[in-house]
Amino acid sequence: MEIEPGVHLCRSYLDEAAQIALLREIEAVIARAPLFTPTMPRSGKPFSVRMTNCGPLGWVSDKAGGYRYQPLHPQTREPWPPIPPPLLEAWSALAAYPLPPQACLVNFYDPAARMGLHQDRDEADLCAPILSISLGADCRFRLGGSRRGDPSRAFALASGDALTLGGGARLRFHGVDRILPEIAPRLASPLFADGGRINLTLRRVG
């Protein structure tokens, strides 16, 4: 469903069985490419979100190098694991773009983590959408406009939901206000022992 021009929200795109299957794939990605805590350019302040990636390129950030894509995990120096097939299928079904994704950022939110409003603009290719898939606890997602001061609206994203920002919405500000208390039974995983949420964003880098 197109909730605003260029913003498509597909509720329960993955049913429970598909969410569990994808979670097993993400557990395997994290086993090979451990979650790390990125830090802000210049200030070096740590993000509250932990991250890893899969695909040919991964998004990283640290004090010295700033925001960037790179082919190696910053700690293991190994290539990122491949993007799991269910995510490639989701891209084919939802991205309406002829080329496959080059990067999948895996964001892990513990119950206290959040993400400030930002644009995804480290990609040279802005023709492809950003496709986001959520697993685990619900969050309060915030969608702003194309400029930082623009009005914003908030809505919940739940496990299995898919959201795309494309076309005129590709550079809209967005963030996560907070992780919501869990009402539905939690997806069983050591990753979610204390609750939490995973968000997967598939991108073309350029």
Interacting residues with Fe ion (CB under 5 A):
120
Q: Which residue has the tokens 């919940």?
A: 156
Please give the residue whose beta carbon sits closest to ligand SIN in the complex. Answer: 199
Please give the residue whose beta carbon sits closest to Fe ion in the complex. Answer: 120
User: CA-CA distance, 184 to 166, in Å (whole number)?
Assistant: 30
Out of ligand SIN, Fe ion, none, what residue 187 binds, judged by CB under 5 to 8 A for its kind, is none
Which C-beta is closer to ligand SIN: that of 77 or that of 194?
Answer: 194
Residues near ligand SIN (CB under 6 A): 105, 107, 115, 132, 141, 157, 174, 176, 199, 201
Out of Fe ion, ligand SIN, none, what residue 176 binds, judged by CB under 5 to 8 A for its kind, is ligand SIN
For 182, the token pair is 């869990």
Phi and psi for 169 in degrees, rounded to 5? -100, 0
Out of Fe ion, ligand SIN, none, what residue 141 binds, judged by CB under 5 to 8 A for its kind, is ligand SIN
Q: What is the DSSP string of 69-138?
A: EESB-TTT-PBPPPPPHHHHHHHHHHS--SS--SEEEEEEE-TT--EEEE-----S--SSPEEEEEEES-
Which C-beta is closer to ligand SIN: that of 102 or that of 132?
Answer: 132
